[in-house]
Amino acid sequence: MIEVENLTKDYGEFRAIDNISFTVEKGEILGFLGPNGAGKTTVMRILTCFFPPTRGKAIVAGYNCFEDSLNVRKRIGYLPQRVPLYEDMKVDDYLRFVAAIKGTPAKEVNRKAAKVMDDCGLGDVSGKLISTISGGYRQRVGIAQALVNDPEVLILDEPTVGLDPKQIKEIRNLIKDLAGKHTVILSTHILPEVSILCGRVIIINKGKVVAEDRPENLATDSAKRMLLRINGNAQTIEQELSRVGGIKGAEREPASGDGNVFIVVLEDEKQGRQSIQAMIERNRFELVEMRLLEVSLEDIFIKLVTKEEA
Amino acid sequence: MNIRNVSLILNRELRSYFSSLTVYIVIIMFLLMTGYFFYNLTATFSIVSYQAQSDPMLAKQYQLLNINETVIRPLFGTIGIILLMMTPLLTMRLLAEEKKTGTIELLLTFPINDIDVVLGKYLACLVVVLTMILLTATYPVLLVVLGEPEVVPIWTGYLGLVLLGASAISLGLFTSSLTENQIVSASISFAMLFFFWLISYSAPLVSAGLGRFLSYLSINEHIESMSKGVVDSADIIYYLCFIVLFLFFTLRSLETKRWR
């Protein structure tokens, strides 16, 4: 559905993206992950035909973004980062306008606008001026305008930025419902978002792809970590822990409440666990808490990005 | 070009115009200024006419004491200049605002051609300016009711005003495409329009041929003859070229935005 080959974009001297290639299959949700300024928006702007790449080619829904831009634009829905909407229009008027300008036949414009308002839960604000509605509703209007022509490809640039937790959850559910029917590319710098939403993730940094995989596979390469909360003399525990087999290291974390908290990096999960248990029994420490920490994409991301820089 | 897309942009733009205060203020200011000049011209005309009844010397001095020459022609000249001062205030937002708010990113990724955007916005502003010009029709209507002016120069004078306004919008739309700051856009428009207005002032200083050329370039020279009732194809061609040229520049300016 989307093919990107050796895409490069220069802004004057500055190389925003450097030789990026990837493909997205039909019905897939691809996450684009990277820190601010990594080049996510640049890739999206090329895919939406806002500007052409300096080099390389992008094919969306079978059409070349540069040579056949009108055909690409007919088949995409785009939510730009800051959700730029016409503030002086009412929500329903705006969606009718977008539906019409995206080529919906005149007699279907009302129906399509009504449907997309229903899908995005905009019924309550349909007659309100866009300048007066809340951030959450704005974001939904942004998604609604992207969806109104039932596009094959949806390109969402940081769709949940600036929303409160409840709104984020709602928008995520909305996007999840789109999978299968639409091919979705979404960019984010919020890590849990990709593991929740995306079937596949591409991590980019400084304009280059640093990793590409399923979110859960990325997690498995990383070392497992364990949180220990033990009652006893902190220094003794630390000494004992340093002698235990199967672990790479332990670090004391400042913590409130009962006991001392240590984050242990495991070398071999089973052996490490057993030897820690044995150490605690031997020293008659009181074990308060012991749990495996889930590897966050944060860790992976930091690892990948620092590796790149080294 | 796609007529439906042009009319969609035109409609949206018009609604946006009339939902903001700016347009109403511009129209009111325009009518106040033109009305003031109309009052002055007619008042002077009636006083001079009255005095001339008893003073043959004065009548001689104002050889052309006819309403077309002393009221209508200067009136069109003045309305033209006020029009040049007001249009940048209407055109400045057309593209600059879209760039500032970022809506241009959606606009240019909708499946429509750039020319549809340019024409839609151009025509929307033209509708506003035509409304303004139409509202000044009360002045000549009053003159026709109360006096006996020649009617043909009024029609041709209006043709001239419409062409002048249409040209100023084209230039203003272009300057709006250059920047995301509306004030900058308006300033460049003012400077360029005044340049095209005053360029004929240097005509007497240069050789006759060049002088004629400079006068021909001047945007106001061309309504002069039209307000006398003379429609010269050279004048019409001047305005049409002016409009097409700046629409073309606007289009190119949008294209280079895409390239950057």
Domains identified in chain B, total number: 1
pTM above 0.90, yes or no: no
What is the average pLDDT score of chain B?
90
Which carries the bigger pLDDT value, residue B221 or residue A79?
Answer: A79
For chain B, list residues whose CB is within 8 angstroms of any CB belonging to chain A.
4-5, 8-9, 12, 15-16, 19-20, 101-106, 108-113, 257-260
CA–CA gap between residue A267 and residue A247 (Å, rounded): 5
- B108: amino acid identity, one letter: L
Whether A82 sits inside 8 A of B9 (CB atoms) is: no
Helix pair B233-259, B114-135: axis angle to 10 deg: 140
| Structural domain harbouring B131 | 3-259
Q: What is the mean pLDDT of residues A176-194?
A: 82
Burial of B117 (0-12, 13-18, 19+ CB in 10 A): buried
Mean local confidence (pLDDT), B86-113: 93
pLDDT of residue B185: 96
User: Of residues B259 and A169, which shows the higher confidence score?
Assistant: A169
Burial of B158 (0-12, 13-18, 19+ CB in 10 A): buried
pLDDT value, residue A111 = 94
pLDDT tens-digit readout, B42-85? 998 888 888 877 877 776 766 666 788 888 889 999 999 999 99
The whole-number pLDDT of residue A237 equals 83
Å between B27 CA and nearest CA of chain A: 20
How far is it, in rounded angstroms, from Cα A38 to Cα A17?
A: 8
The rounded distance, in Å, linking the Cα atoms of A78 and A49 is: 10
Contact yes or no for A84 and B8 at CB 8 A: no
Cβ separation A45–B105 shorter than 8 A = yes
Nearest CA in chain A to B100: A84
d(CA A52, CA A66): 6
Residue A309: which pLDDT band, with cuts at 50, 70 and 90? low
pLDDT, residue A222, reads 61
The pLDDT value recorded for residue A297 is: 63
Sketch the domain layout of chain A as residue ranges.
2-219, 223-293
What pLDDT does B62 receive?
64
Most B-contacting residue of A54, A67, A78, A86 (CB-CB within 10 A), to test interface: A86
Query: A146, A39, A131: which is closest to A90 by C-alpha?
Result: A131
Q: What is the mean pLDDT of chain A?
A: 85
Q: For residue B112, which residues of chain A lie inside 8 Å, CB to CB?
A: 101
Mention every residue, 6+ apart, whose C-beta is less than 8 A from residue A233. Answer: none
pLDDT value of position A219: 64
Fold classification of A223-293 is Alpha-Beta Plaits (3.30.70)
- Distance (Å, rounded) from C-alpha B134 to C-alpha A43? 49
Of B16, B104, B111, the CB nearest to A88: B16
Residue of A nearest to B12 (CA): A97
**Number of A–B residue contacts, CB under 8 Å:** 63
Instruction: Measure the N-to-C terminal CA separation of chain A; round to a whole number of Å.
Output: 35
Q: What is the pLDDT of residue B68?
A: 82
pLDDT at residue B258 greater than cutoff 70 = no
Q: What is the pLDDT of residue A212?
A: 84
Name the band, by pLDDT with cuts 50, 70 and 90, for residue B155: very high
Q: What is the pLDDT of residue B201?
A: 84
Q: Where are the beta strands (DSSP E) in A158-278?
A: 183-188, 200-205, 208-213, 225-231, 247-253, 260-266
Does the structural domain A2-219 have CATH classification 3.40.50.300?
yes
Do the beta carbons of residue B114 and residue B250 sit within 8 Å?
no
In this prediction, residues A30-43 reach a mean pLDDT of 86
Q: Which of A182, A177, A120, A175 is nearest to A151 (CA)?
A: A182
Which pLDDT band, with edges at 50, 70 and 90, does A256 fall under?
A: confident
Question: Between chains, do B106 and A100 touch, taking CB under 8 Å as contact?
Answer: no
What is the least distance, in Å, from the CA of B124 to any CA of chain A?
16
User: How high is the pLDDT of residue A308?
Assistant: 57
Look up residue A261 and give its two tokens.
């908290």
Question: Are A50 and B108 in contact (CB < 8 Å)?
Answer: yes
| pLDDT at residue A310 greater than cutoff 60 | no
Look at residue A241 in the predicted model and tell me its pLDDT.
Answer: 80
Q: What is the mean pLDDT of residues A209-228?
A: 76
DSSP letters spanning B57-92: HHHHHTTT--HIIIIIHHHHHHHHHHHHHHHHHHHT
* Residue B250 pLDDT grade (very low, low, confident, very high; cuts 50, 70, 90): very high
Query: A74 to chain B, minimum CA–CA distance in Å?
Result: 5
Q: Which residues of A touch B108 (CB under 8 A)?
A: 50
**Closest to A228 (Cα-Cα) out of A163, A293, A170:** A293
